[in-house]
A and B are shown apart, each in its own frame.
Chain A
Amino acid sequence: DTAVSQTPKYLVTQMGNDKSIKCEQNLGHDTMYWYKQDSKKFLKIMFSYNNKELIINETVPNRFSPKSPDKAHLNLHINSLELGDSAVYFCASSPALGQGGQETQYFGPGTRLLVL
């Protein structure tokens, strides 16, 4: 069974388009995250949600908007895509503090976004 899944795995699109990436976890975790990995492999947090509440909102363009319809899902919508948005986007989830293995984040397979 897939623990953290993302769709699509690959996304190739034109500049200016709007696209969404979906993430689902079946681990029963309370917290979900979006990270961006740039071309130099550097990983940086974008957002985190705890029980559907936004916890972290790093300095990312407001073209990026996360949405958490429930604890098991955290989607990422990107408006007006730009060339610089090309990257790998990883979703992750972790248990709440106080639960076993707290703060261990488990990652999805990544979505490779290429903006042309």
Chain B
Amino acid sequence: AQKVTQAQTEISVVEKEDVTLDCVYETRDTTYYLFWYKQPPSGELVFLIRRNSFDEQNEISGRYSWNFQKSTSSFNFTITASQVVDSAVYFCALSLNQAGTALIFGKGTTLSVSS
């Protein structure tokens, strides 16, 4: 069975601090995809990144970076120099390589950035 664990329920930081959101996944499949989504207070789900299981390269996009490590089944997300607009719930998710397969979400981490 597949599972995604986000052990941090809530994180509070002050602007300009760096923050890392942890994600650990479980699957026996060799081909799978990992995702991060952002849900701001307005409620929509915004896609941030997708990684497939064969690509362990870390990725950086502006202040966002992702560290994928198959050895520890982790896909962590770091925000550098956090801003108030980063305040949101962040979800890590896993999907398998099958048509129409579901996203299996973690329970989310609520990030609060204060000024």
Contacts and interface: CB of A to CB of B under 8 A. Distances in A.
Given A41-B89, A104-B35, A48 B43 contact: no
A14 B107 CA distance: 29
Given A41-B89, A55-B99, A107 B50 contact: no
A105 interface: yes
Contacts of B45: 90, 92, 107, 110
B84 interface: no
B50 A97 contact: no
Interface residues of B, number: 23
B102 A48 contact: yes
Q: Is the interface of A mostly helix, strand, loop or mixed?
A: strand
Contacts, number: 68
A50 B50 contact: no
B95 A103 contact: yes
A49 B105 contact: no
Interface of A: 30-31, 33, 35, 40-45, 48-50, 55-56, 58, 88, 90, 92, 96-97, 101, 103-107, 109-110, 112
